[in-house]
Amino acid sequence: MAGMKVKKTSPRHEFEIRLSGSGGQGLQLLARIFAHAFSSEGKVVAQSQSYEPTSRGGLSRSDLVVGMSEPDYPLATNIDFMLILDQVAVKAADGVISDDSLVITDARLVTDPPKGAFRVLALPIMETAIGLGNPRVANIVAMGALTGEGNLCSIEIIEAAIRENVHAKLTNLNVKAFQEGLNLVAN
């Protein structure tokens, strides 16, 4: 009979990220790029998602649990860094963020951000994307803001991950969007 023992020690758990907004905002792609970047740094990622059976609109979220080995539980339960790109996603913060969490919201699309002792940064993410000529890169602008403010990963590694995961024609636009996002939280 094949019985297997699991190691008694807990896997080292580093941080959890929730990327939320409405369907079509590119949150799953964003999670994939982040996951790519973290695993290129040698970390182990568990990426889960929740979506509704519609192709546009509706709550969409993607979570990342990042550590140095396979987590016991791969789903997020205690979010350290949260992105909210649409008012519909505010409810995705319920019960999973704590006083130490950082919440970044889009200043225009999130009219009533979650309230609490945690830090909330309302940033002109969508406005910046529109300024770049394409609202669809709002996800990557947000990525820059999260990376900069949360000190999540080296800039070079994220940029390389962006290059590997977006269409070649859109690489420059996305890298620019990432840099603009970093600028939103510089100083």
Partner 1 sequence: MTKATHQQNLQGNHACALAAVAAGCRFYAGYPITPSSEVAERMSLELPRVGGTFVQMEDEIASMGAVLGASMGGIKAMTATSGPGFSLKQENIGYGVMAEVPCVIVNVMRGGPSTGMPTRPAQGDVMQARWGMHGGYQIIVLAPASVSEVYGQTVRAFNLAERLRTPVVVLIDEVIGHLVETVRIPDPGGLDIQQRNWAAVAAGEYQPYAAGDDMVPAMARPGDGYRAHTTGLTHDESGFPTQDPETVERVSRRLLGKFEHHRAQIDQFEELQTRDAEILIVAYGISARAARRAVREARSKGIKAGLFRPITIWPFPQQALTKAAKKAKRILVPEMNAGQIVLEVERVAGRGRVKGINRIDGQAVTPSDILEAIGTGD
Contacting residues toward partner 1, per CB under 8 A: 1-6, 8, 10, 32, 35-36, 39, 43-53, 70-75, 77
Closest approach, Cβ 77 to partner 1, in A, equals: 6
Cα–Cα distance between 103 and 93 in angstroms, integer? 9
The residue among 18 and 36 lying less far from partner 1, judged by its C-beta, is: 36
Tokens of 174: 């996305």
CA 81 to chain centre: 8
- Yes or no: say if 13 and 64 are a contact pair by the CB < 8 Å rule: no
Nearest residue (CB) to partner 1, 15 versus 51: 51
Whose Cβ is closer to partner 1: residue 30's or residue 132's?
30
Nearest distance in Å: CB 147, partner 1: 18
Task: Tell me the Cα Rg of the chain.
Answer: 16
Whichever of 50 and 98 has its CB closer to partner 1, that residue is 50
At a CB cut-off of 8 Å and minimum separation 6, what does 3 contact? none
* In the complex, minimum distance from the CB of residue 116 to partner 1, in angstroms, rounded to a whole number: 19
